[in-house]
Amino acid sequence: MADVVIVGAGHNGLVCGCYLARAGLDVLVLEQSDKPGGGSRTDETIPGYRFDTHSAAHNIINMTDIPAELDLAGAGLRYLEMDPFAMAAFTDGRIVRFFRDVDRTVASIREVSAPDADAYAEFMHRALPVIDTVVAGVDGGASRRRVLSQLPGRAVAAARGVARNGGPAGLAREVLSPYARVLRERLASELTRAPVAAFAAHAGASPQQTGSALFALWQGVYHRFGQWHAVGGAQGLIDALVTRFTGAGGTVRTSATVARIVRDGDRVRGVQLDSGERLAAPVVVSAIDPKTALLELLDPPLGGPEGRALAATHRGNAVQMLVHVATDRLPPYPRARPGDWAGLQSYVDSLESLEAGFAAAEAELLPPNPVPTYSFTPSALDATLAPPGHHTVYLACPNAPYRLRGGWDAAKHGFAERMIATVEARAPGFRDSIRDIAIRTPQDMAAELRWPGANPMVLDVSLDQLAFLRPTRLLATHRTPVRGLFVSGAGTAPVGGVAGSPGRAAAKAVLAAHGTPA
C-alpha cells in the first residue's frame, strides 16, 4: 500500500509527488491518459512534427524557485528565452516588438508611433511595482527563508505601486477595472492596446470583465521574468519531473482512470479505478479539477456549506481553439526581422475584436471576423520539433466557445480556415507554406484531457477565485474536510497556468498534516 496516491500526472501532480517522494514517502501517481503531462504534453499530432498540445510557453514556474529546488536542469530540463517575448503583426504591415528590456520595447514602438511609445513607457512605470508586489502570490509553498528575504523588496514595490497609481483609491480603481478600460486609458492606440490585450486574453477573461485589469498589468511580468520555451516542448518539463520523481522512489501508472475516491466517514481510504481495482492509501491528493474530484469522484461527495461553495465556482464558455500547422517555412511577414518568430505573434487588431469574440463565445457562437488569433513558432528556437527546413506553427484563438450552437464537428474546418486567413492577411504566402494541419477543438481537448469545459485554468482566474480564494476560501489551504484528502492542480491556490506552486503547496500541506519535515 502506498503512503500517498496522487490523482493526475499533470505538472502539478508530479511536482507534488517530487516533494513527497523526496521526503521519504511511498507515492503513486495515477494518470488516465497514456503518458504523463496533462496540459503540458508534447505530441506528434502531425507525422514528423511535434507540437505542444496546449501549454506553449512557461512563465510562472520560472518565477518560482521550484526548478532550482528540484534541480530540474540536472534532470535534463533546458529552457530557452523567447526574446522578443511578443510581436504584433498588423494587416497594414506594421510590426511592433516587445522585448524583455522595457527601453528596447519603447524604442521599437517609437519606430512606428512616438505617442504610443511614450504611453507604453508610462504604462510600465505604473504597472511594474504592482506586478513586483502581486507576484509573491504565485509562489505557493515557498520556503520561509525565501518569503522573508523578499519581504523588504515587496514592501518597497507596494509603496511605489500605490504612489504611482493615484494613492490607495486610484490603485483600487485600477485593479478592479476591466482591462479594456485600463488599456484605453493608459495606452495611446490599438498599436499597443491590441497586443497587450492578446496576452491578457490568455486568462480567459473578457476585456469587459470587472476586476480583470490585473491581466493587462501582467504584461510587466514578461519584462521582469521573461518568457520561456522548454527544449523538446512542454514535455521537457514533464520528463524532468518524472525523472526526479521516479529517482526519489515514486511510481507513475498511466492509463489508470480513477472512478471513485473512497472514504469511510470523514477519512479517505484510497481510490477505485475504472477497472474495479481498489488502491488503498491513507492519503489521496487530487491534482485534477477539484469540482470533479470532490463533487463527482468522492463517494459520498463533499456536502454542506463546503460542497455548495465549491459547486458555485465558475468557468466561462470562452476557451482556446488550436490549429497545429506544419509548414515549410516560417510565416513570411513582409517587414520581419530576425527574432520576430521567437515569442507570441499577435494577430489581434483591436480591443473591439476581442470584446466581440468573448461576447460571441458566451452566446455559444463563433467569433466574428477577423478572428482573434495568435501564434507561437517554437521550431524557430528548437530544431527538435520539426524536420530540417520545416516548422511548427501553433495557432490559437483565445475566445472560442466550448459549447457551440450546432456543434464543433460541422464548424471546425471552416473556423480553422478563418484562423489561417487571419495569418495570411499579415503574412502573404503563409497558406502556400502549409504541409498539413491538426485541428484541436475545445471538445477534443475536454475529452482527451478530462478537462470539464476545456478550460486550461480549470476554473476562471477571476478575483473571487485567486490566491487564498482558489477554488474556495476553505480549500485554498489544499486540505479538505475529509481527513487524508488534499487538493492540488490548476484549479487550486494560488493560480492556474504552468506554475507548479499548487503542487508544492499541496505537498507541504500533506507533510505538515503528518508531521513530516518538508
Count how many domains the chain has.
2
Structural domain boundaries enclosing 488: 4-40+234-313+455-513
pLDDT in tens, the chain (518 residues): 999 999 999 999 999 999 999 999 999 999 999 999 999 999 999 999 999 998 899 999 999 999 999 999 999 999 999 999 999 999 999 999 999 999 999 999 999 999 999 999 999 999 999 999 988 888 888 888 898 888 888 899 989 999 999 999 999 999 999 999 999 999 999 999 999 999 999 888 999 999 999 999 999 999 999 999 999 999 999 999 999 999 999 999 999 999 999 999 999 999 999 999 999 999 999 999 999 999 999 999 999 999 999 999 999 999 999 999 999 999 999 999 999 999 999 999 999 999 999 999 999 999 999 999 999 999 999 999 999 999 999 999 999 999 999 999 999 999 999 999 999 999 999 999 999 999 999 999 998 888 889 988 999 999 999 999 999 999 999 999 999 999 999 999 999 999 999 999 999 999 999 876 66
Q: Are 365 and 443 within one domain?
A: yes
Q: What is the CATH number of the domain that holds 23?
A: 3.50.50.60
Q: What are the contacts of 271-280 at 24+ separation with CB within 8 A?
A: 271/5, 271/7, 271/30, 273/30, 279/1, 279/2, 279/5, 279/28, 279/30, 280/1
Q: Which residue among 434, 452, 470 closes a domain? A: 452
**Same domain for 321 and 285?**
no
Cell of 306: 463546503
Residue 140 lies in a domain: yes
CA distance 355 to 9: 35
Report the C-alpha gap between 477 and 301 in whole angstroms. 19
User: CA separation (Å) from 370 to 196, 281, 349?
Assistant: 17, 52, 8
Q: Is residue 481 included in any domain, yes or no?
A: yes
Final residue in a domain of this structure, among 419, 452, 485: 452
Assigned C-alpha cell, 269: 481510504
Residue 251 burial class via C-beta count within 10 angstroms: exposed 0-12, middle 13-18, buried 19 and up: middle
C-alpha cell belonging to residue 260: 471513485
Up-side HSE of residue 176: CA atoms within 13 Å toward CB?
A: 6
Query: For residue 290, is it within any domain?
Result: yes
Q: Considering only CA atoms, give the Rg of the chain.
A: 22
Task: Name the domain boundary from 402, 417, 452.
Answer: 452
Does residue 344 sit in the same domain as residue 416? yes
Instruction: Kindly report the pTM of this predicted structure.
Output: 0.96
- Tell me: do 175 and 197 sit in the same domain: yes
3-class DSSP state of 439? strand
CA-based nearest residue to 272, from 259, 255, 283, 281 = 259
